[in-house]
Amino acid sequence: MITRLTDEQKADFLKRGFTRRAFSKISSVLAAGATLPFYNEAALAQLSMIGPLPPDAVKINANENPLGPCPEAAQAIYNVIQKGGRYWYEETFNFARTLAEQEGVKPDYVLPFAGSSDPLHRAVLAFTSPSKSLVMADPGYEAGSRAADFIGSKVHKIPLRKDYAHDVKAMAEADPDAGLIYVCNPNNPTGTLTPRSDLEWLVANKPKGAVVLIDEAYIHFSEAPYCTDLVAADKDVIVLRTFSKLYGMAGLRAGAAIARPDLLAKIRPYGAGALPVTGMVGAHASLKVKNLVAERRKLNRQIRSEVFEFLEKHNFSYVPSESNCFMLDAKRPAAELIKLMAQEKVFIGRVWPAWPQHTRITVGTAEEMEKFKRALLKVYA
């Protein structure tokens, strides 16, 4: 949450080319004590949904994890609830220390948050402005671009390559004054990976002064290496971690920004306050479960492969994904398919303007995906 701007931050905003109008818009929202009207995945999915869902709905529209937190996390959260009358900052520090150890970075390279939307929005506020643009993929995860729109920063949307990787060459060339280059790996909504060599190339060849924000919300579902070693090597890189996806804690809220301390210092001032101790202990307990990532990755891959086999057998087209979501080619305006599936109580979606015939499907439980398959055959019968 963004709270109050210091005089120094106000001067910085003006120096970075914000008009007084844009600046007063931001200030007035902050003065009202409100959060900025930014969107996260659930809010974006909710936009395309009408009314409350029936209790037997299959909800595979927001890249959530139906498994929820692992038992160890649930137990840690249960244990801490009675102690919840205190702030327990140490739980946040303990979580950050363990995460830093596991990621191979120094402790002061980790800044915990209640999820990763918060540091994503802050990075846009800190590194873009009317004269410093945001560069991202198309289709890509829109939350950052909405934050950029709100503060009047230009957004360059660069189409994915034919192989569905980020077009890092085009992204590096998009704007010599880019402030932030956002790469989501695996990408949301396509679930596709950008090769490690391309990411390294981008970091080496980006415009001077730009920061590369690598959002690894879905990395645990894939076999791709994390990019935190680029952070450890002191590159101009911020990696985002979340516990909302593989770890099943979207509603519980835990995440982190991992970067050089001078980059973290730029995003730290935009908010304040203690983090929910439930999220912190849940995340910390999850990190300590040895095989959790491997087991959940395997389960997701198995269900996803079964869905892909089904789609091939029935001649549907889709984009092969390494994540817990994939794009299905509806072969018609995808919004129509979303409506028809909703009538079968299977809630899929959403649609990206760049690919109007595709809709995103989240990989749910095996049972949910069976219902999805049945509904899909019925709709196309």
Chain positions contacting ligand PLP, by CB under 6 A: 40-41, 63, 115-117, 120, 141, 184, 188, 215, 217, 242, 244, 250, 255
What's the closest the beta carbon of residue 112 comes to ligand PLP, in angstroms?
12
What's the closest the beta carbon of residue 93 comes to ligand PLP, in angstroms?
20
Q: Which two tokens stand for residue 170?
A: 């085009």
Q: Which is nearer to ligand PLP, 129 or 188 (CB)?
A: 188
Which whole-number Å values give the CA distances from 85 to 134, 277, 283, in the listed order?
A: 41, 10, 20
Q: How far is Cα 218 from Cα 245, in angstroms, rounded to an integer?
A: 7
What's the closest the beta carbon of residue 311 comes to ligand PLP, in angstroms?
22
Tally Cβ neighbours within 10 Å of residue 8.
9
What's the closest the beta carbon of residue 275 comes to ligand PLP, in angstroms?
13
Q: How many CA atoms lie within 13 A of 333 on its CB side?
A: 4
Q: Which is nearer to ligand PLP, 153 or 190 (CB)?
A: 190
Look at strands 178-184 and 317-318 and give their pairing.
Answer: unpaired
Q: Which residue is nearest to ligand PLP (CB)?
A: 41
Closest to 359 (Cα-Cα) out of 342, 378, 381, 371: 342
What's the closest the beta carbon of residue 289 comes to ligand PLP, in angstroms?
19
Residues 6+ apart with CB under 8 A from 128: 134, 148, 151, 153, 179, 180
Q: Which is nearer to ligand PLP, 13 or 141 (CB)?
A: 141
Q: Which is nearer to ligand PLP, 210 or 217 (CB)?
A: 217
Q: Which two tokens stand for residue 8?
A: 């120094």
Q: Which is nearer to ligand PLP, 188 or 359 (CB)?
A: 188
What's the closest the beta carbon of residue 116 comes to ligand PLP, in angstroms?
4
What's the closest the beta carbon of residue 17 comes to ligand PLP, in angstroms?
27
Place of tokens 């979207």: 250
Helices (H), 210-320: 228-232, 261-267, 277-287, 292-313
Largest CA distance in the chain: 63
Q: Which is nearer to ligand PLP, 275 or 376 (CB)?
A: 275
> DSSP assignment, residue 179?
E
Answer yes or no: are the C-beta atoms of 61 and 72 closer than 8 Å.
no
Q: Which is nearer to ligand PLP, 145 or 242 (CB)?
A: 242
Q: Which is nearer to ligand PLP, 240 or 285 (CB)?
A: 240
Q: Which two tokens stand for residue 346?
A: 């299977």
Q: Which two tokens stand for residue 220?
A: 């645990």
What's the closest the beta carbon of residue 365 comes to ligand PLP, in angstroms?
18
